[in-house]
């Protein structure tokens, strides 16, 4: 693209507040021209922005922060919990990090829309992915595409010998792990994802699932469902390394989780009503996201064909649920540390 | 733009109304702060002995056992900062004695969170809690607010006031938590990672002592008794710092006296509500000991 000669446009691009702290990672090619063009207030876009902000706040304040309460406890003292509680702790972390970061992204994108800016989509229902390659096309898209364009493709991408393609895949995932911090846990998390990805690459199935699962249908096929569950479990396993303080702690967590007590009722549910509520909220999130998965964010066109009263009641329900169900303690955004 | 603003306002209006109605309802629920502020407004000129401090003195000192006209203006988590603000606001022209606990955490803590609004709303004191501290609705969780409203207005359960006529919280025999559990929990909760508030807390306490001196009043500092499950889990460094600071204060001010009950063996398990709070029986025991200590020091100084 042509470099800008306007210092104000450049400074505004660099310091654009909605996405400044934690993304989406915007390229100049997308954002800079938006500073250069004349913007006008767009009513529909602003309403769209507000809806996206409220959905983002719901994911952050209701889902992520509630999950965090138990994740912090379970990961701090895994010895105090049975296997099923530890599994639940890992599931809670999967939704904590998703709600936290995709929630932030929604707030950033929604805020930008109020000013007639379009930021790139950062999450596209990653937990409905049917394989790990699809997951990485749907998770933190702005970072994945950045790595693809500035690391993977300069290394030759996949248009090289299979051996080099495997090497490139390892490099990109390890670099991605490093990007999160200088800790072996992140490196291991990156390596695990590379290991998940390589079989798909070698068999040429890494671009098999490009559309959203069950597009145009209400329910997924058995194979789609199996793919989604398998992919979720694989990412869940990797998230344990991402969340743990050290590799040893992660292995300790996993070894304690994979015991007979994995098949018992999670003791965390019986000791805390809030953990049961959190689990129910996750189910609500999954349901709403599944119903709205063909939209940029699920509540964009939710109840669009229904009466205005019903739609407004739904929006009130979202706002009131943020007020009523938010966690007792607010948590700092996880991605602010990266 | 106009249409957008109108729509947003129309959407937000019921939420604002709900918030305002809830705020009014919440402020109307009787609570300790409101009661104490009202009592002090009406009686501060007669009060001779003022009990300040945290829950340790709120539950631990019985003003009815003090021979002079006393009032317990302490409250849970109340810091020297708010003790000072209360002292300044109500002036207390007849004041002879101030009783303040110096607990393990007193020099290290700062009052934050939902309690701040109580001081700004009911005592009309300035706080650094911002907008949140000016509203009950904003200071507590939505669910918590709804349950407080339901409990008071619909289920007709008791108001939030736990103090007796002279401001003491008279605690029943025992907390549902065991002495072991509450001791470890409280010791952990009261141990601070840093000393960032120490300097200002010392200044607040010194200010209280100076005001007392100007009124020819004495200040009785005491470290309240605690059960061994609490004392055994305290951080030695923080405890040592607490004693050192208190010693510094005592050397500096001649109207200030101190007595340490922390490990006083006269207090047994039967005297405690939980590991760091006395029940009614323990409070009476402590108050009698305090009264006797005050008599001794006043005799000596005369």
d(CA B154, CA B156): 5
Instruction: Say what the pLDDT of residue A334 is.
Output: 67
Tell me which chain A residues have a C-beta less than 8 angstroms from the C-beta of B3: 43
Least confident interval from A176-180, B86-90, B285-289 = A176-180
Q: B15 — contact with chain A (CB < 8 Å)?
A: yes
Strands B277-278 and B272-274: antiparallel
Instruction: Say what the pLDDT of residue B47 is.
Output: 98
Whole-Å CA distances, B232 to A149, B183, B263: 59, 9, 10
Q: For residue A308, how many other CB atoms are within 10 A of its CB?
A: 8
Contact A326 B141 (CB under 8 A): yes
- Cα torsion for A269, A272, A275, A277, to the nearest 10°? 100
Instruction: Say what the pLDDT of residue A22 is.
Output: 65
- For residues A72-100, give the mean pLDDT: 93
Helices (H), chain A: 7-14, 17-20, 28-36, 43-57, 65-76, 83-114, 132-138, 141-147, 162-180, 184-202, 222-243, 247-257, 267-271, 273-291, 308-325
Contact A326 B14 (CB under 8 A): no
Instruction: Say what the pLDDT of residue A335 is.
Output: 62
For B4, the closest chain A residue by CA position comes to A43
Tell me what percent of the residues of chain A surpass a pLDDT of 90.
Answer: 61
Taking the CA of residue A96 and the nearest CA in chain B, the distance in Å comes to 21
Q: Can you give the pTM of this predicted structure?
A: 0.77
Instruction: Say what the pLDDT of residue A235 is.
Output: 97
Q: Cβ distance B76 to B33 under 8 Å?
A: no
Residue B9 in this model has a pLDDT that exceeds 70: yes
Instruction: Say what the pLDDT of residue A336 is.
Output: 62
Residue A305 in this model has a pLDDT that exceeds 90: no
- Annotated catalytic residues of A are 180
d(CA B172, CA B161): 15
Task: Convert the pLDDT of each residue in A131-152 to its tens digit.
Answer: 999 999 999 999 999 998 998 8
pLDDT higher at B45 or A76: B45
Residue in A43, A320, A326 closest to B3 by CB: A43
Instruction: Say what the pLDDT of residue B158 is.
Output: 74
**Can you name the residues that pair with B274 across neighbouring β-strands?**
B277
Taking the CA of residue A290 and the nearest CA in chain B, the distance in Å comes to 27
- Cα torsion for B198, B204, B206, B210, to the nearest 10°? 180
Here the tokens at position A106 are 């929604």
Residue in B7, B15, B143 closest to A319 by CB: B15
Residue B273 in this model has a pLDDT that exceeds 80: yes
Instruction: Say what the pLDDT of residue B139 is.
Output: 92
Taking the CA of residue B145 and the nearest CA in chain A, the distance in Å comes to 9
A100: Cβ contacts below 8 Å, ≥ 6 apart? A59, A60, A64, A68, A331, A333, A334, A335
Contact A323 B146 (CB under 8 A): no
SS3 call for B234: coil
Instruction: Say what the pLDDT of residue A80 is.
Output: 86
Q: How many CA atoms lie within 13 A of A293 on its CB side?
A: 22
Instruction: Say what the pLDDT of residue A184 is.
Output: 92
Contact A315 B4 (CB under 8 A): no
Write down the residue that tokens 């599994």 correspond to. Answer: A87
Q: B130 — contact with chain A (CB < 8 Å)?
A: no
Residue in B4, B141, B143 closest to A43 by CB: B4
How many Cβ pairs within 8 Å bridge chains A and B? Answer: 23
Q: In 3-state terms, chain B is what percent helix, strand and coil (to 5)?
A: 55, 10, 35
Across chain A, mean pLDDT equals 90
Tell me what percent of the residues of chain B surpass a pLDDT of 70.
Answer: 99
Could you check whether the bond before residue A24 is cis, i.e. omega within 30 degrees of 0? yes
Write down the residue that tokens 């996750």 correspond to. Answer: A282
Residue A331: pLDDT band with limits 50, 70, 90: low
Instruction: Say what the pLDDT of residue B302 is.
Output: 65
Least confident interval from A33-47, A242-256, A267-281 = A267-281
Interface probe with A: pick from B142, B148, B188, most Cβ of A within 10 Å = B142
Residue B145 in this model has a pLDDT that exceeds 80: yes
Interface probe with A: pick from B11, B140, B145, most Cβ of A within 10 Å = B11
- For residues A321-330, give the mean pLDDT: 81
Write down the residue that tokens 């000791």 correspond to. Answer: A271
Contact A324 B146 (CB under 8 A): yes
- For residues A227-233, give the mean pLDDT: 97
Tell me which chain B residues have a C-beta less than 8 angstroms from the C-beta of A315: 11
Contact B11 A312 (CB under 8 A): yes
Q: Cβ distance B161 to B31 under 8 Å?
A: yes
Q: How many CA atoms lie within 13 A of B247 on its CB side?
A: 6
Task: Convert the pLDDT of each residue in A247-258 to its tens digit.
Answer: 999 999 999 999
Taking the CA of residue B5 and the nearest CA in chain A, the distance in Å comes to 9
Q: Cβ distance B118 to B31 under 8 Å?
A: yes
- For residues A14-27, give the mean pLDDT: 78
Radius of gyration of chain A (CA): 21
Instruction: Say what the pLDDT of residue B222 is.
Output: 98
Task: Convert the pLDDT of each residue in B185-219 to its tens digit.
Answer: 899 999 998 999 999 999 999 999 999 999 999 99
Residue A333 in this model has a pLDDT that exceeds 70: no
Residue A330 in this model has a pLDDT that exceeds 80: no
CB burial readout A51-62, b (16+ within 10 A) else e: bbbbbbbbbbbb
Tell me what percent of the residues of chain A surpass a pLDDT of 70.
Answer: 96
Q: Cβ distance B120 to B134 under 8 Å?
A: yes
Residue A314 in this model has a pLDDT that exceeds 80: yes
Residue A338: pLDDT band with limits 50, 70, 90: low
Contact A324 B15 (CB under 8 A): no
Contact B7 A47 (CB under 8 A): yes
d(CA B302, CA B105): 33
Contact A315 B143 (CB under 8 A): no
Residue in B4, B11, B14 closest to A46 by CB: B4
Residue B32 in this model has a pLDDT that exceeds 90: yes
Q: Cβ distance B263 to B42 under 8 Å?
A: no
Instruction: Say what the pLDDT of residue B20 is.
Output: 97
Judge residue B165's burial from the number of C-beta atoms within 10 Å of its C-beta, 0-12 exposed, 13-18 middle, 19 or more buried. Answer: exposed
Tell me which chain A residues have a C-beta less than 8 angstroms from the C-beta of B135: none
């Amino acid at each position: 693209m042509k470099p800008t000669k306007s210092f104000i446009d450049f400074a505004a691009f660099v310091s654009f507040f909605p996405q400044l702290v934690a993304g989406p990672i915007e390229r100049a090619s997308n954002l800079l021209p938006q500073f250069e063009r004349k913007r006008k207030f767009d009513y529909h876009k602003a309403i769209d922005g507000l809806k996206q902000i409220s959905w983002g706040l719901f994911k952050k304040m209701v889902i992520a922060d509630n999950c965090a309460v138990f994740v912090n406890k379970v990961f701090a003292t895994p010895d105090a919990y049975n296997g099923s509680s530890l599994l639940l702790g890992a599931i809670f972390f999967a939704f904590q990090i998703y709600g936290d970061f995709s929630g932030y992204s929604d707030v950033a994108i929604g805020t930008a829309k109020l000013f007639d800016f379009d930021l790139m989509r950062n999450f596209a229902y990653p937990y409905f992915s049917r394989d790990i390659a699809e997951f990485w096309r749907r998770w933190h898209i702005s970072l994945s595409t950045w790595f693809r364009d500035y690391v993977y493709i300069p290394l030759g991408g996949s248009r090289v010998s299979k051996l080099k393609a495997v090497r490139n895949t390892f490099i990109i995932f390890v670099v991605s792990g490093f990007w999160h911090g200088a800790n072996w846990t992140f490196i291991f998390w990156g390596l695990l994802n590379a290991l998940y990805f390589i079989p798909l690459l070698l068999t040429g199935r890494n671009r098999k699932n490009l559309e959203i699962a069950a597009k145009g249908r209400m329910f997924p096929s058995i194979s789609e469902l199996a793919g989604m569950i398998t992919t979720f479990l694989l990412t869940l396993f990797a998230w344990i390394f991402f969340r743990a303080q050290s590799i040893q702690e992660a292995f300790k967590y996993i070894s304690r989780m994979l015991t007979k007590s994995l098949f018992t009722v999670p003791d965390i549910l019986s000791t805390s009503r809030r953990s049961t509520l959190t689990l129910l909220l996750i189910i609500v999130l999954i349901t709403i996201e599944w119903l709205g998965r063909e939209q940029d964010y699920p509540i964009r066109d939710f109840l669009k064909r229904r009466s205005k009263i019903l739609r407004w009641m739904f929006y009130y329900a979202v706002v009131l649920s943020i007020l009523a169900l938010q966690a007792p303690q607010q948590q700092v955004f996880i991605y602010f540390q990266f | 733009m106009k249409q957008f603003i109108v729509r947003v306002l129309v959407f937000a209006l019921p939420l604002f109304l709900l918030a305002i109605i809830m705020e009014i309802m919440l402020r109307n629920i009787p609570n300790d702060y409101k009661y104490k502020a009202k009592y002090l407004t009406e009686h501060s000129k007669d009060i001779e002995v003022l009990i300040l401090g945290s829950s340790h003195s709120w539950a631990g000192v019985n003003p009815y056992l003090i021979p002079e006209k006393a009032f317990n203006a302490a409250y849970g988590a109340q810091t020297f900062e708010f003790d000072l603000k209360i002292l300044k606001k109500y002036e207390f022209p007849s004041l002879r004695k101030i009783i303040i606990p110096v607990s393990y955490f007193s020099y290290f803590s700062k009052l934050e969170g939902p309690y701040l609004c109580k001081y700004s709303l009911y005592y009309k004191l300035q706080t650094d809690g911002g907008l949140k501290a000016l509203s009950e609705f904003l200071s507590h969780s939505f669910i918590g607010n709804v349950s407080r409203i339901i409990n008071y207005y619909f289920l007709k359960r008791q108001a939030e006031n736990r103090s007796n006529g002279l401001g003491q919280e008279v605690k029943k025999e025992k907390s549902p938590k065991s002495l072991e559990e509450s001791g470890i929990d409280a010791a952990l909760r009261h141990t601070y990672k840093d000393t960032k508030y120490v300097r200002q807390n010392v200044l607040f306490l010194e200010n209280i002592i100076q005001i007392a001196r100007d009124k020819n009043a004495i200040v009785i500092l005491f470290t309240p008794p605690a059960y061994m499950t609490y004392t055994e889990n305290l951080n030695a460094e923080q405890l040592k710092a607490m004693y050192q600071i208190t010693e510094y204060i005592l050397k500096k001010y001649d109207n200030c006296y101190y007595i340490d009950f922390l490990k006083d063996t006269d207090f047994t398990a039967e005297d405690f509500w939980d590991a760091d709070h006395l029940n009614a029986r323990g409070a009476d025991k402590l108050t009698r000991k305090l009264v006797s200590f005050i008599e001794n020091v006043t005799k000596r100084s005369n």
